Structure 1
Amino acid sequence: MAGPATTPYVTLNSGHNMPVLGLGTFALCQPPDLVSVFVQAIKLGYRHFDTSPVYGSERPLGFAIAEAIRRGLIQSRDEVFITSKLWCTDADPELVLPALQNSLSDLGLEYLDLYLVHWPIRVNSGEYKVMYGKEDLLPIDMRGVWKAMEECHSLGLVRSIGVSNLSTKKLSDLLSYCTIPPAVNQVEMSVTWSQPKLTELCKKHGIYITAWGPLGTYGEIWGSNLIMENPTLEYIASIRGKTVAQVALRWLYKQKVTMIVKSFNKERMKENLQIFDWKLTKEEVKLIAKIPQQRRYQGNEFMSPSGPYKTIDELWDGEI
């Protein structure tokens, strides 16, 4: 019987290694036994897991890590790379450390490998949920929040810190005052939203992009079939004997970015790991470059006449 798949690593600017491909843990309709799903993922070869308090997956992920160690699938916690995030409700300098401590408690871990500021926004509510009232949306003190993130790093509670959903401008602003630069910017990126401007900035400063939604969050209510039913990708997949998902993920790997995939189906989880032992041809890359570009997730729920972002353009600083 074949052993678990192996995933390449990249070295972050913090000096720590991160697996190129990780498993996302968010879904509106979660399976009844997430612990078993995550144990199965570890058995298949996943060593990077992406979570957040708002996902409701931190506690089952922690149980799964403990179970995987008990069963000998991994020898220690150090064999897995765990990313979690600071949700908008805690995006306040005074709340960063308590939020991190709560995540560590739910995960049953002593440290996180990577901790991200989830969104450049503050929400005036203590409840972890996806949608909030317009009156709850507040500006974020990013300078103060990042200083608190740096303090968490200094305490040894996180090995690397980063951000998520920051535009080129917002990331540039952060770089102008940070002491510890972000190791990662986790953003929407795929064959249909390639982010060339942001990619150039991140490469210049040694920041890795981690692509969320690389397959279009297919099946979610805000998802899209632009990737999984794209005729160019279907054509390439058919002549190469690959799945559309494998072609889309392999293209991202060629861009030298990391990625988070989300599937709780065993066969699809296995297929998504099988992208590292083959390459796209130059002709195939040229075909993919012609795919029309469109940001799938706009962030409309963060728009408010009285909030920090009154238009989509303000949230993404024109990168729409």
Structure 2
Amino acid sequence: MERNEDSFTLNTGARIPAVGLGTWQADGASCQAAVATALEVGYRHLDCAHLYGNENDVGQALSEALNGGVPGLKREDLFVTSKLWCTTNTPKRIGRAVEISLKNLGLQYLDLYLMHWPVFSPLGDATDPPSHRSDELLKPPTRRMEATWRAMEELVSKGLVRAIGLSNFNITQMEEILSYAKIVPAVNQVELHPFWRQDKLVQYCHSKGVHLSAHTPLGIPGGRASGPASSSEDAVESPAASIVYSRSRSVHAPMLKSHVVAEIAEHLGRTPAQVILRWGVQRGTSVLPCSLRSDHIKNNLDILNWSLSETDWNKINTLEPQLRLVDGNHSYLAEIGPLQAVAETDAESISGTDVDSIPETDIEVVSEPEMEPIPETEPDAVHESDIEAGAEHDTNIRVFQSVP
């Protein structure tokens, strides 16, 4: 376990800051204020995605910070990530998608570009799903996955992105990518926290030289199971069960209420959130907490000049139960999807960019490929007794099932 580590080296040789600001569920002036605060207090890692619908807001805050808002701040000091949404997974649309994110963020290049989910759906608006459901949409075709990765690799050769990677990929899906990748993914961003440690995935990624970033490292913002509480630890919710997330962005999760974490925090003079984030960094993963509160943003960064003892480390590594909080059942493919509708930037209006001139990859994209079935799995149970509502400033309740 490394002490005082503020960044990690990727397989590209670049350094990724150990703590980044997650921007999921932030929008408008509140998003701009959060990014501005983060940059002012020392964050240099911003985690974004086209799906979040707020890259214009992030870009506004970035522009102000780079133009005197944060004295001495330069583009090369920053590490900015964005993600490719699953409705843009054809080679030409991938080129357009990254140009849209760059335009919205006001940047010339991205430090990291990720495949947001290992799922494909029909083409259409990049954030609004089709109005019908089909079983085949749950089966990512191998040949299209390869074509997508080839197009991602071309983004590196064009200088539009410095590194490429994955998000929400499991070991089997990573093995598929690695079987034909000319550029090994630099990062896999997945849900990681003491209540969903994913030890096998962590070991696998480390063995392949793929860095792990932890989204939702503190759990779900204001989340609680919407269905009835399960009386059995082995029981699972229906795959169609919803998880309700408030737009308060205040973090409430079972691990923050754990007496084990509370005791460690008390004797260290730290907050439970700091203890959990420090655990993630000592594990060798970068962490991406989301917050709009300036005090939380500051506290979440204050984890780099101290360490957990071996005893405390072992206590956190034995926390139970193991609960996945972000349900990746791809329910956005249903008729009533949870995706936030956002204004799509017109790719043709991007200044100085002729998107039609972006060449297609040489990999053939088959319109009706043979589908490879995904083993059917059910999401782990999220018990209502484990996750408290207690959200501050509960406003604009939304239903999501597939996020970061």
TM-score w.r.t. the length of structure 1 is 0.89
Which amino acid in structure 2 is aligned with residue 301 of structure 1? H
Q: Which residue of the partner structure matches residue 312 of structure 1?
A: 377
Residues 48/304 of structure 1: CA separation in 2 closer, same or farther (3 Å cut): closer
Q: Quick check: 2:45–2:80 contact (8 Å CA) kept in 1?
A: yes
Inter-partner Cα distance in structure 1 for 2:280 and 2:165: 20
- 1:77-104 per-residue CA deviation (whole Å, 9 max, x = no partner) reads 1111110000111122331111111111
Q: Which residue of the partner structure matches residue 147 of structure 1?
A: 150
Residues 144/313 of structure 1: CA separation in 2 closer, same or farther (3 Å cut): farther
The percent identity for this pair of structures is 36
Q: 1:52 aligns with which of 49, 53, 65?
A: 49
TM-score w.r.t. the length of structure 2 is 0.71
Which amino acid in structure 2 is aligned with residue 146 of structure 1? W
Inter-partner Cα distance in structure 2 for 1:289 and 1:38: 31
Q: State the Cα distance separating 1:298 from its structure 2 match.
A: 2.4
> Are 2:183 and 1:180 equivalent residues in the alignment?
yes
Inter-partner Cα distance in structure 1 for 2:152 and 2:146: 10
Q: Which deviates the most, 298-307 or 270-279?
A: 298-307
3-state SS of paired residue (2:330): helix
Q: Which deviates the most, 179-188 or 253-262?
A: 253-262
Task: Give the structure with the higher percent helix.
Answer: 1
The count of corresponding residues between Structure 1 and Structure 2 is: 308
Inter-partner Cα distance in structure 2 for 1:310 and 1:127: 28
Gaps of 5+ in 2: 224-243, 246-250, 335-370, 380-404
Q: 2:39 aligns with which of 38, 42, 53?
A: 42
3-state SS of paired residue (1:227): helix
Inter-partner Cα distance in structure 2 for 1:107 and 1:31: 14
Which amino acid in structure 2 is aligned with residue 210 of structure 1? S
Q: Which residue of the partner structure matches residue 233 of structure 1?
A: 261
Q: Which residue of the partner structure matches residue 324 of structure 2?
A: 295
Which amino acid in structure 1 is aligned with residue 189 of structure 2? Q
Q: Which residue of the partner structure matches residue 120 of structure 1?
A: 118
Q: Quick check: 1:22–1:49 contact (8 Å CA) kept in 2?
A: yes
Q: Which residue of the partner structure matches residue 82 of structure 1?
A: 80
Which amino acid in structure 1 is aligned with residue 40 of structure 2? K
Q: 2:109 aligns with which of 85, 108, 111?
A: 111
Gaps of 5+ in 1: 1-5, 315-320
Q: Quick check: 2:217–2:287 contact (8 Å CA) kept in 1?
A: yes
Residues 130/247 of structure 1: CA separation in 2 closer, same or farther (3 Å cut): farther
Inter-partner Cα distance in structure 1 for 2:155 and 2:103: 15
Residues 133/283 of structure 1: CA separation in 2 closer, same or farther (3 Å cut): farther
Max radius of gyration: which structure?
A: 2
Inter-partner Cα distance in structure 1 for 2:115 and 2:96: 14
Q: Quick check: 2:85–2:127 contact (8 Å CA) kept in 1?
A: no
Q: Which residue of the partner structure matches residue 317 of structure 1?
A: none
Q: Which residue of the partner structure matches residue 302 of structure 2?
A: 274
Which amino acid in structure 1 is aligned with residue 57 of structure 2? P
Inter-partner Cα distance in structure 2 for 1:7 and 1:252: 12
